[in-house]
Amino acid sequence: MMYLKPYSGIKGFYKIFVDSIRTEIGTIHYKIKDGTLFISNLEIYEEYEKKGYGRTVIKNLKSIKNISILTGEAIDSSKRFWLKIGAIFIEDTNSFVILG
């Protein structure tokens, strides 16, 4: 089980925790408007990468009621991750869309 805990009083900024290891594994900053979830930043800490946690975070976000689109902008080193989870990149940009 994974859960988000509000962080630093910034609206939409959360620390990501995993119950099974009771450990903070990363952070995410997002906002929701008109059925679209805009991801400003998703960071899974290096020691927890490649364990499926990022995929699980996105799966949980897609399950939020009334969310039909997730969107954001990827850094070059994360493009492979976004493509693996079904992101569609806008041609010649780092901007992506994931349909809910």
**Residue 16 in contact with residue 55, Cβ under 8 Å?**
no
CATH number at residue 75: 3.40.630.30
**Sheet architecture: strand order including 2-6:** 2-6, 13-18, 23-33, 36-44, 69-73, 95-99, 88-89
Q: Tell me how many domains the chain contains.
A: 1
CA 15/CA 41 separation, integer angstroms: 11
- pLDDT band at residue 9 using 50, 70 and 90 as cut-offs: confident
Confirm whether 71 is domain-assigned: yes
Confirm whether 13 is domain-assigned: no
Confirm whether 3 is domain-assigned: no
pLDDT in tens, 65-100: 999 999 999 999 999 999 999 999 999 999 999 997
**Domain limits at 94?**
30-99
Confirm whether 81 is domain-assigned: yes
Confirm whether 16 is domain-assigned: no
Confirm whether 89 is domain-assigned: yes
- The model's pTM is 0.89
pLDDT in tens, 18-77: 988 889 999 999 999 999 999 999 999 999 999 999 999 999 999 999 999 999 999 999
